[in-house]
Every structure is written in C-alpha cells, then in structure tokens.
Structure 1
Amino acid sequence: MDQVKWGIIGCGDVTEVKSGPAFSKVPNSTLVAVMRRDAVKAADYARRHQVSTWYDDADALINDPAVNAIYIATPPGSHAEYAIRAMRAGKPVYVEKPMALNAAECEAMNQVSRETGVPLFVAFYRRALAYFSAVKELIDQQVIGNIRYVRVVLNWQPDDREVGSQPGWRVSPEISGGGLLHDLASHQFDFLEFALGPIKTASGIARNQAGLYQADDMVVANFEFESGVLGTGSWCFTVNKEQRIEETQLIGSKGKITFSFFENFLIRVETETGSEEYTIPFPAHVQQPLIEQIVNELRGNGKCPSTGETGARASAILDQITAR
C-alpha cells in the first residue's frame, strides 16, 4: 500500500482533536471520507475538517473504492459489527478502545482478521506516546530495581455528561460493555501489560453504590503478572472534588515510580539517592504517533505495537474483574 486513504465510521467527539486531524498529518496518509448516521453532522464534520466525502451509511463508506483503510470511532457496541464488515471487504481496520463489548466479541474480530489476513489495530495509543515510553524505559533500565508491586488508584467525581435522565453511552453497559471502568482502565491494563508483560490472573468486585446510572461506579481488583509482579487497583467514580486522585505507582526493590494515565504529564522517580521528576507533555493529537506506526506497517515499514491480539487482552482482564 503506497498511500493510506482513511475513512472514519463515527466522526464524533474523539475524532475532533485526538485522532481525526492526525490522519492527514502523518506522511503518506490522508483522511478522504467520514460517516455518521446523522447526515447533517457528517456533512458539518467533513466541511470543518476539509474532508472531500461524507456518508450517513457505513456500508457506503466501507465500499468506497477511494478508501483503503478504516477507522472505527463509534461506541464499543458496534465495533465488532463494523470491523468484521470492513475486514471482509479487504480493508485494514483501526478500532477505538475498548476494542469491543467483551472478550468474546474481540475474539470474533481477531478470527476474521486471521481468516482474511487483513490487519486489525486498536487505539491503545499510549503504547506510542513519549510519556509512556519514558515510563517503560525506566522500568526496563531497572532504575527502581525489580518491580514488586503495582498500585492503581482513580477517584473521580461524577461527570455531568454521565448522570441525569439520559446518561451517556459510557455508563450504558449495553453500548459500552460496562461503565467508566471499561472506558478508562482498558488503557491502564493495556499499558501495564505492554510495560510489565502479560497479566496471568485478575479478579475483582464491581458494584453500583450511588445509583446515578446503570453501570458499576466502584470497582476494586487484584491481579498478578506472569513475571510474579502483583497489583491492586481501585476505581471510584462518585467521590467529591476534594477527593479526586488519579495515579499509578510501581514499587520496586530499590525505589518507586509514580505516574498518571489521565491527569498530568509528570513522572516522579524516588530511590534511596533522592528523587527526580520528568515532565513530558502529550502531542496536540494524542493518537498521531500510533497512527504513524500503523501507516508505516501498512506500507511495509515496521510493526505497530497495538494489534487486535494485544487489544483483546484488556477486554479479557476487565471481564475477569467485573464477573458476577
């Protein structure tokens, strides 16, 4: 593939800045078509982002001969359906995270990718960001010795978009696969596996304590990596503003690394010789580094680290943690 010509299915909020503009900023890549079921919004997106073609029907975009790769940015409930249709049409797929509603749907997507030979990638873009590459490098260099323990904490207050008479899709399990845990912790577990290796077992307790919406709003978990590293996590989405915290700690035999997945650009390293801090901001379009790696692979140059096979693992871990 000489030039990668993208079509987007589901040109919603995530595509406005995080991903959409990057497709035409990466070398040998162009965004040529977008689709949204609301024709007015699809046309508006195309106009504002200088995209030549828009559709209100997914099959029309999938079958457009000018499109040779497809980015699926709808909510997870339709990921498997659209990805399978696109791969069966012979077009490589880049799908938003979480990869699908559950591990079974992820496996169905991967099975079609294997059968057709059509590549499948997942938007776990932290695998390509400089901030997280720095965290992984600190681990690999054993700056804090051997990792013993991982501690993940996320306490956030309710989001106005997720409460009320019509809660958003992220807290509607039939659309998202779960609640905010699935939207956020999928990123966390994917990167932890990228940095520390596969998670062997995971278990947890998931509950709805506040009754603000249908999905779980409080989750605690234990997990063990194949390397023997142990981990705990807690996610609460109904605290007040003063209790807000989001940090991950890696405890090693010689020190500690503290970093954030969502809240800041600071990495703090503490050892017996003192402490150091690194600030590494995200790029303007956070998915651009990963999209560039996908484009390079499709053109025969290198390999992207976030595939359907790696992406499915985060969904499997979340299934284990939230199992009733």
Structure 2
Amino acid sequence: MGIVLDEVRWGMIGCGAVTERKSAPAFNKIEHSRLVAVMGRDAGKAADYAARHGVPRWYADAEALMADPEVNAIYVATPPSSHAEYAVLALQAGKPVYVEKPMACRYAECQAMNQAASAAGLPLFVAYYRRALPYFLQVKALLDAASIGSILAVNVRLVQSPRPADRNPNSLPWRVNPAVAGGGYFFDLACHSLDLLDFLLGAIVDAQGCAENRGGLYPAEDTVAASFKFASGALGTGFWTFAATDAGRSDSVEILGTAGTIRFSTFAFTPIELETPTGTQRYLPPNPENIQFHLIAAIVAELRGQGRSPSNGTSAAKTNWVMDCIIGVGHESKFAGLG
C-alpha cells in the first residue's frame, strides 16, 4: 500500500497484560521503531504504564492519541469487541494499524476493517506472531521441503482445565464473555492454531463443527469439535476443551503425509518431531524474549518499504471466517472469498 515511513512511531491503544512482555517492549528494541504514546480508558493506569515503560506520552482518549502528530502507526491492544472500531478510526486518520488477535469478534467486522484499509490505501496487520517465530518456520521449512510427502490430514488438539478466575461468576475474565471476546477460550486460543494451519498448509475452504458449554462456569462455549478441508484437498479435525482436569491436558498438532508425520505444539513449544521411515528427527528453535518481536520487526520492515509481514488483515480474516463456521455463526461453510 502507498506508505513508506523512515521511522515507525507507535501509538498503543490499550495497556493490558498482553502488552507488558509479549509486544510493547519489542517496539523499542527494533531499529527504526519507537513506542511514543499509550492510551488507556483509566487515566491513572495509562500514566502508570507510561512511567514504568518509559513511554513519553499517555492519553485517556483513543482519538486524541490517533491525532498526535508524533504517532504515525497504531497498535490496537484492546479486547476483540473494540478492534474494528479503533482500527477503522485509525485508518481513517491516515495511520496504518497493527491489531491484536483474533482480528475481531466476527468475520463481518474483519471485512469492514479490510475495506477501510483498502479505502485508505494503508496496511492492516494482525498479531498472529507465530507466523514469524523460528519454531513454526522450522515446521514450514520441513513441509516446503516435502519431508513428509503429500499432505493427507492434520489433527489439532488442545485440552485445558478451568482457570481459577473462571470459577468466580461475579468476576469472570473478558475472554469468556462472548459479547467482548466473540466466544470463549476457543476464540482466544484456537485462532492461533487455525491461523497457523493457513500459513503452513494453505487456505481452509470448508469448515463445520459443534460447540457446547459442558462445564457450566461461564456463558461461552468451552468444548468445540471441528472438521475442515484445505484447498489442496487435505482434511483436518480439531478438538478444543477448557473444562477438563489437569490430568487430561494436551497440546498437539499432527500433520500426516504420504511419506511421514510432523508433530509439534501450538503453545507448549515441545520439540518438533519429524518421523519418516528412516527414523525420527527433533528440532527446538528458541523463542525471542518478547514473543511478538519477529512479527513486529517484519511489520516495521514493510512500513519502511523493505519487507513484507506474513500476517495481515486478509490472512487473519480467513481465520475468523473459519471460527465462525465452526461454531455455526452466519456463514456458508464453503469459503467463497473475502469479498
């Protein structure tokens, strides 16, 4: 898109837990990138965040931050229900946007965000940072080298137990409030796995599933089963539950090919296993201190006209489409394009 920045000066909307270590510190570690302003609805918290992280300015109003002439790119780090609103406003203000994942609560909101980016002639990026992590790039390298032949199928499994906060009906986390998060932990966590599959294996073009609340702790779904099909013809299944006991915890992705199998995890970063008739090889590339570092570096490079981010509004919207199909929200199960 039509923008090239000499230096990327970030304004951050939202200063919650995700920004403390995963993202915000990386903005100042990357050459030609600085975090120059933060915004939080609670002025006291925004001021405290700015003081603790050495950010020059803070705001309690998002539009005031967007209007700051020192800010030339916006990072939206709020819950999903406000992603579309803030992203569209920032794009209309003439500033490229990096938004947390999932891109929005619903696929229709993602479409509106992409339309705003197109109208403004500006890029829109989404925080699917696993696309830039060495761990998952190793998996992609094995697949690109046809290490396991043609892909037949993939199986994703994530089993977790309820968190202590999930058991307090008077103070539930926003991540289990569908009005704020789009759904429950499925939307918060499964989106990473589904986006990775798009990155590793290509587009999912057909998806369906069943979603239920089996634990009864909060309004959102806590158990989801899905089946899907890739454009290549490969098939996939997924199972996610957040209502199990600790004894049943698991985190695995298995990709089955005509000549072998690759196994890895989405969150635990267990050793990647490549199993073929000649034996098993294991790989474990290290993660950066700030987990979003590599993706943010790629975004900065693109904004400076020197590279391309692997995650953007177009790729991320597809993940929302898949999740909507799996939980049965308002779409045909066969993908007809981003529109």
TM-score, length-scaled by structure 1: 0.99
* 1:165-217 deviations in Å (ceiling 9; x for gaps): 22101110000001101111111111111111111100000001111000000
**Number of the residue aligned with 1:32:** 36
Shift of 1:218: 0.5
Partner Cα distance (1:302, 1:71) in 2: 19
Decide which of 165, 177, 198 is 1:172's aligned counterpart: 177
**Number of the residue aligned with 2:200:** 195
Amino acid in the other structure paired with 2:316:
G
Amino acid in the other structure paired with 1:46:
A
Partner Cα distance (2:149, 2:120) in 1: 44
**Number of the residue aligned with 2:322:** 317
- Of 159-168 and 214-223, more deviation after overlay is shown by 159-168
Decide which of 202, 209, 213 is 1:208's aligned counterpart: 213
Decide which of 221, 245, 260 is 1:255's aligned counterpart: 260
Aligned pairs for 1:95-244 (under 5 A) are: 95-165=99-169, 166-244=171-249
Indicate yes or no: 2:2 matched with 1:12: no
Shift of 1:277: 1.0
**Number of the residue aligned with 1:77:** 81
Indicate yes or no: 2:292 matched with 1:287: yes
Partner Cα distance (1:213, 1:48) in 2: 34
Shift of 1:80: 0.3
Indicate yes or no: 2:68 matched with 1:64: yes
The runs of at least 4 consecutive aligned structure 1 residues that moved more than 4 Å come to none
Partner Cα distance (1:242, 1:45) in 2: 38
SS at match of 2:21: coil
- Structure 1 vs Structure 2: percent identity of aligned residues? 53
**Number of the residue aligned with 1:298:** 303
* 1:265–1:282 contact (8 Å) kept in structure 2: no
Shift of 1:280: 1.6
* 1:265–1:280 contact (8 Å) kept in structure 2: no
Partner Cα distance (1:243, 1:185) in 2: 18
**Number of the residue aligned with 2:7:** 3
Shift of 1:60: 0.9
SS at match of 1:19: helix
Shift of 1:302: 1.5
Decide which of 266, 269, 290 is 1:264's aligned counterpart: 269
RMSD, aligned CA: 0.8
Show structure 1 runs of 5+ residues with no match.
none
Partner Cα distance (2:119, 2:208) in 1: 32
* 1:133-156 deviations in Å (ceiling 9; x for gaps): 000011111111111110001110
Indicate yes or no: 2:95 matched with 1:91: yes
**Number of the residue aligned with 2:334:** none
SS at match of 1:67: coil
Show structure 2 runs of 5+ residues with no match.
330-339
Partner Cα distance (2:267, 2:37) in 1: 30
Partner Cα distance (2:278, 2:52) in 1: 53
Partner Cα distance (2:320, 2:33) in 1: 29
Partner Cα distance (1:13, 1:161) in 2: 15
Shift of 1:281: 2.3
**Number of the residue aligned with 1:274:** 279
* 1:265–1:281 contact (8 Å) kept in structure 2: no
TM-score, length-scaled by structure 2: 0.94
